[in-house]
Amino acid sequence: MNMLERFFRVIGSNTINRVWRLGFAARFFIALLAHSGETFRRPRLLLRELYASGVLSLIIILVSGLFVGLVLGLQGYDTLQRYGSSEALGILVALSLVRELGPVVAGLLFASRAGSSITAEVGLMKATEQLTAMDMMAVNPLARIIAPRFWGGVLSMPVLAALFTAAGIFGGWLIGVVFIGVDEGAFWAQMQANVNFVDDVCNGIIKSIVFGVAVSLIAVFEGFDAVPTAEGVSRAITRTVVTSALAILALDFVLTSFMFRGL
Amino acid sequence: MNRKVMDLWVGIFVVIGFAAVLFLALKVSNFSASSFATTYEVTAKFDNIGGLKVRGPVKSAGVVVGRVSAIRFDPQTYEAHVVLKIDSQYQFPRDTFASILTSGLLGEQYIGLDAGGDETMIPAGGTIAKTQSAIVLEKLISQFLFNKASEGKKDARAE
């Protein structure tokens, strides 16, 4: 009986804890938005974060995009040529990258490359009491530390997703046209005829913006909320990557069901 | 890191980001083709539109001159009303013939416009009177089979 009681107690306290954290995260988000003014008044702060989360993620994003495109080209060609429609390779590569793979895979990579480093940085600042020290010097850490990192992530994510998509389409072209020998004109013409700018490209960009907000918010929040010990920071980093991945995939399903209904 | 170098890298990052979006807009999607400067609307009534979809192309002599902007069902006449948006630099005579055609054997369906010889042009908001419905494969096959069957009977009588 005692064990059963303890079992329910653990479930209950975990549930309450999660709901409490969710409420705290929402309050944190609103406070973060309220203190964002300084980030845009002092572009130097923002520029540093754009460099840290955008420029430093370039290599992994471009190389992964290229390889995803190469694989899509090979797999797509293998399937399409069974039905004698290998010219449709361009549509397959472009639509799957623009609509889904571009924003989602770039978001996952961004969470593990930039999100984890933001959490580590903020969490370590908290563990070494730098955030408290700032507060003592009447510098609001939310405006000085958190907001620039958040906006740096939000602004660089759509750019990275667009680059991932472009690199992937280049990879598909490389395999399809250069190595296998699909007709180049048909490859681009079919792609252009079937990819719509508003419905496909813009929706992909909207997705990447939403993922950018989600990943950046999770990263700064987990860092800010980390238990200020070495173990606590390492747990916070793990939580950032796991929660971001789940958030991206869940949000992707919700957004897709709004955007693409097959009309 | 030196501030100047960091600024340069962020600048490069933004520039190649814009280049990627431009590439997606102009080379990958139909951003340049789909936005005709000014268009006018013309309605055409069809008995059967087959698999025609909104945003499908309207072609004349094989050149895209417009797009399908809306498809409605008229409950009074039981016909399909198809609204076409045609680029205003192209004018078509009143007796233009609109038919629903298929590109390739199983490809997408589009509206083909065959210009007539009338001297007055279709005004904006006008209707195309002469139309031909989509060819439904099942009907075509059953027609063919009926013809074959009746031919067989004729041959049998002649003998």
Q: What is the chain A residue with the closest CA to B10?
A: A51
Q: Which helix (H) or strand (E) holds A134?
A: helix A130-136
- At residue B105, the pLDDT reads 59
pTM of the model: 0.77
Tell me the average pLDDT of chain A. Answer: 90
- At residue B33, the pLDDT reads 55
Q: What is the pLDDT of residues A67-99, one digit of tens each?
A: 999 999 999 999 988 887 888 888 899 999 999
Angstrom distance (rounded) from CA B97 to CA B83: 15
- At residue A80, the pLDDT reads 87
Among A residues 64-103, those touching chain B with beta carbons less than 8 Å apart? 94, 98
Contacts of A201 in chain B (CB under 8 A): 24-25, 28-29, 31
Res. B104: pLDDT tops 80: no
Angstrom distance (rounded) from CA B152 to CA B146: 10
- At residue A159, the pLDDT reads 94
> Are the CB atoms for A211 and A113 separated by under 8 Å?
no
Angstrom distance (rounded) from CA A158 to CA A182: 31
- At residue B3, the pLDDT reads 77
From residue B103, give the alpha-carbon distance in Å to each of A66, A156, B48, B50, B111.
33, 42, 17, 13, 10
The residues that bridge with B66 in the sheet, in sequence order, are B58, B86
Note whether A47 contacts B17, CB cutoff 8 Å.
Answer: no
Q: Is A248 on the interface with B (CB under 8 A)?
A: no
Handedness of CA B53, B59, B62, B64 (dihedral sign): negative
Q: Is A247 on the interface with B (CB under 8 A)?
A: no
> Are the CB atoms for A220 and A116 separated by under 8 Å?
no
A47 — phi, psi (to 5°)?
Answer: -60, -40
* Relative orientation angle of helices A203-224 and A116-127, to the nearest 10 degrees: 20
Residue of higher predicted confidence among B48 and A159: A159
Q: Is B22 on the interface with A (CB under 8 A)?
A: no
Note whether B28 contacts A192, CB cutoff 8 Å.
Answer: yes
Q: What is the pLDDT of residues B59-94, one digit of tens each?
A: 888 888 888 888 889 899 888 999 988 888 888 888
- Locate A60 and state its tokens: 């992994």
Angstrom distance (rounded) from CA B37 to CA B90: 12
Tell me the average pLDDT of chain B. Answer: 83
Closest by CA position to A126, among listed A105, A108, A146, A111: A146
Closest by CA position to B95, among listed B119, B60, B125: B119
From residue A68, give the alpha-carbon distance in Å to each of A83, A169, A210, B23.
23, 9, 22, 18
Note whether B31 contacts A201, CB cutoff 8 Å.
Answer: yes
- Locate A33 and state its tokens: 């938005």
